[in-house]
Amino acid sequence: MQGQDKNPLHGITLEALLTKLVNHYGFEKLGELINIRCFTHDPNIKSGLKFLRKTPWARTKVENLFIKTNFSD
């Protein structure tokens, strides 16, 4: 599909994206960078995914952080 070649999120699931961010930053730092309750109060991947799937503004913030983060692996 044309246009997806330059999309840095192409082929990355939301679960993989969130897991990579949590492994990199930890929930505490992630909650500081993006102040949403699912990262600051009893955080876990499952609740984070549920919230992000139904909250477009929060998902956009998480996706933007993922793009800005330099993963060297």
| Pairwise CA distance, residues 57 & 13, whole Å | 17
What pLDDT, in 10s, does the model give residues 15-55? Answer: 999 999 999 999 999 999 999 999 999 999 999 999 999 99
> For residues 69 and 57, is the Cβ–Cβ distance under 8 A?
no
Q: How many CB atoms neighbour CB 54 within 10 A? A: 9
Phi then psi for 43, rounded to 5 degrees? -75, 145
8 domain residue, yes or no: no
48 domain residue, yes or no: yes
The per-residue pLDDT for 5 is 64
Q: Which domain holds residue 18?
A: 14-66
2 domain residue, yes or no: no
5 domain residue, yes or no: no
19 domain residue, yes or no: yes
pTM of the entire predicted model: 0.86
Residue 1 has pLDDT above 60, yes or no: no
pLDDT class for 7, splitting at 50, 70, 90? confident
Q: Count how many domains the chain has.
A: 1
The per-residue pLDDT for 4 is 63
1 domain residue, yes or no: no
Burial class (CB in 10 A: 0-12, 13-18, 19+), 4: exposed
Q: What is the CATH number for 19?
A: 1.10.720.30
